[in-house]
Homo-oligomer: A and B are copies of this chain.
């Protein structure tokens, strides 16, 4: 049986307070959309069926290389993290799965499964870690992991990924996400070609261990932690990897992992067209891999990404079923609130993209009517779809105003009392 952290009754009570205003807003929006021959309930149903996974590490306060400033009630281990994740799902009904990161989330798979079931949570893609060392490992990743010059180090990294697959199988995951920090800090430090050959060979070994019904996601990133070159630096290299490995290999797009000024939505379109879009790590960024809350800085960009996704869905693009996951670092907010809010923003972009009048858009495109094509997207984007998001939550037991309901629940104070305060400390790195 489920052991919910916030009672359904409490949520219902909070919803009751907001019911009238919500009903009025939903009705008003429904009428407006009806004038454009859009059935609001059909949109609401689609939105309610859209889910995004929460990363286990996202419920802890994040940090930078300069410092980490923890908040009250930081989760101590994966079981605490799962409880926090369940609160997000209870309130949003948008995040029924959690993505684990090994070794941090390592635990008895049976206990993980039992806890997940109790909380109504499933498990999304597994994430391996070969970008930092653990105290018990034989070979250091200081100079690389899957692309290291030393075969034993590569083997260790391969084995770790295979272990992630094994844990994942036991808890019902169906995908492995591989992101590595391998690269170099100096011109000359690494031979780009040999380094990539080693990487591809090691990934081939992991791929061989992948169950038939799994998918393998590789994630590119322009830089950091390596600052001169990175082995999987962009979607071009990521595509070469997926193509080399085989049909179960796909590219993962993190919105913050690109060069300045990059048109990310076009990369999404290309990967869909060539059958290699695996999914997303959602977040927002202004400078680098800032890991800010999704849609907080450039909401129109998020919409444009979803515009590609809905377009692909509509035209039935071959092999199109991307995995959605949030990947953020919550440095100055309550992580639970940021994840609630981000799940909403992601659904918001999806709802807005659903409202695009695609037949009209295509007409303008065929007429080279750039202004009206742009306006067609903007018209959908400008629609305040909050009532749809709220209704999608409400219908499935979630909160009309999830952040306010969360604050009213006193959950943070409760876990702060249970979980000892942690120190952030500082790397002393300048």
Contact yes or no, A375 B191, CB < 8 A: no
The answer to whether A64 has its CB under 8 Å from any CB of chain B is: yes
Contact yes or no, A263 B188, CB < 8 A: no
The answer to whether A38 has its CB under 8 Å from any CB of chain B is: no
The 8 Å CB contact of A149, one of B312, B368, B427, is B368
The 8 Å CB contact of A288, one of B274, B288, B338, is B288
Contact yes or no, B371 A297, CB < 8 A: no
Cα distance A192–B374 in the bound complex, in angstroms: 14
The 8 Å CB contact of A57, one of B187, B223, B297, B429, is B429
Contact yes or no, B184 A370, CB < 8 A: yes
**Can you name the residue of chain B whose Cβ is closest to the Cβ of A271?**
B236
Contact yes or no, A426 B132, CB < 8 A: yes
A131 CB to nearest B CB, Å = 5
Cα distance A211–B235 in the bound complex, in angstroms: 32
* This chain's copy number in the assembly: 4
Encode contact with B along A256-269: 1 for CB under 8 Å, 0 otherwise: 00111111011101
A118 CB to nearest B CB, Å = 25
Q: Which of A4-12, A83-91, A159-167, A381-389 contacts B (4 or more CB under 8 A)?
A: A381-389
A388 CB to nearest B CB, Å = 12
Q: Which of A40-48, A202-210, A358-366, A408-416 contacts B (4 or more CB under 8 A)?
A: A358-366
Cα distance A261–B262 in the bound complex, in angstroms: 11
Q: Known contacts A261-B259, A272-B193, A286-B228: does B143 contact A332 (CB below 8 Å)?
A: yes
User: From residue 171 to 214 of chain A, which have CB atoms closer than 8 A to chain B?
Assistant: 179, 181, 184-194, 196-197
Contact yes or no, A69 B296, CB < 8 A: no
Which residues of the other chain, B, contact A80 by a CB distance below 8 angstroms? none
Contact yes or no, B186 A293, CB < 8 A: yes
Contact yes or no, A269 B193, CB < 8 A: yes
- What would 18 A/B residue contacts be, using CB atoms closer than 8 Å? A28-B28, A68-B427, A69-B142, A132-B427, A143-B368, A185-B332, A186-B296, A186-B332, A186-B374, A193-B273, A223-B287, A228-B297, A236-B236, A240-B270, A259-B259, A263-B286, A332-B370, A337-B371
